[in-house]
Amino acid sequence: MTPLSSCLLLSSLLFSVGFAGVLMRRNAILILIGIELMLNAANLNFIAFWRYGSAPEALTGVMFVIFSIGVAAAEAAVGLALIISIYRHRKTTQIDRMNSMRG
């Protein structure tokens, strides 16, 4: 059970938990939380491979995680803004009721 494989195991566990959250919960906010978890699992993989991988001085893993954190934050902000605006119209955050395309 090398440290690298334990890291990968942890990140895959995190990924599946996040994936479960997205599948099983009906509240839009919890879906966003699931997505955040999945993104973090991916970041963990990058750092694990940077740490135990072949050419650590190239810092590619670290760079990629920095940019991925940035993108994830932007995505979260836009997602939450969408949820708020949908709530204003539909007065609900249940995704089942967000099926109509009308304005």
Partner 1 sequence: MLFTIFAALTVAGAVAAISLRNLVHSVLSLILAFAGLAAVYLLLGAQFIGFAQILVYVGAVAILIVFTILLTRNDGTFGHSSQASWNLGALIVIAVFGTLAWAIHSSTALHHAPPPQPEATMQQIGTALMVRFALPLEVIGLLLTAALIGAATIALHEKQERP
Q: Which residues bind partner 1 (CB under 8 A)?
A: 2-10, 12-21, 23-27, 29-30, 32-34, 36-37, 40, 43-44, 47-48, 50-52, 56-57, 59, 62-63, 65-67, 69-78, 80-85, 87-88, 91-94
d(CA 93, CA 79): 12
Minimal distance, residue 75 CB to partner 1, in Å: 7
Q: Which is nearer to partner 1, 6 or 102 (CB)?
A: 6
> Under a CB-based contact definition with an 8 Å cutoff, are residues 58 and 46 in contact?
no
> Under a CB-based contact definition with an 8 Å cutoff, are residues 48 and 8 in contact?
yes
Minimal distance, residue 100 CB to partner 1, in Å: 18
Burial track 20-56 (b if 16+ CB lie within 10 A, e otherwise): ebeeeeeebeebbebbbbbbbbbbbbbbbbbeeeeee
Q: Which is nearer to partner 1, 12 or 102 (CB)?
A: 12
Minimal distance, residue 30 CB to partner 1, in Å: 6
Minimal distance, residue 46 CB to partner 1, in Å: 9
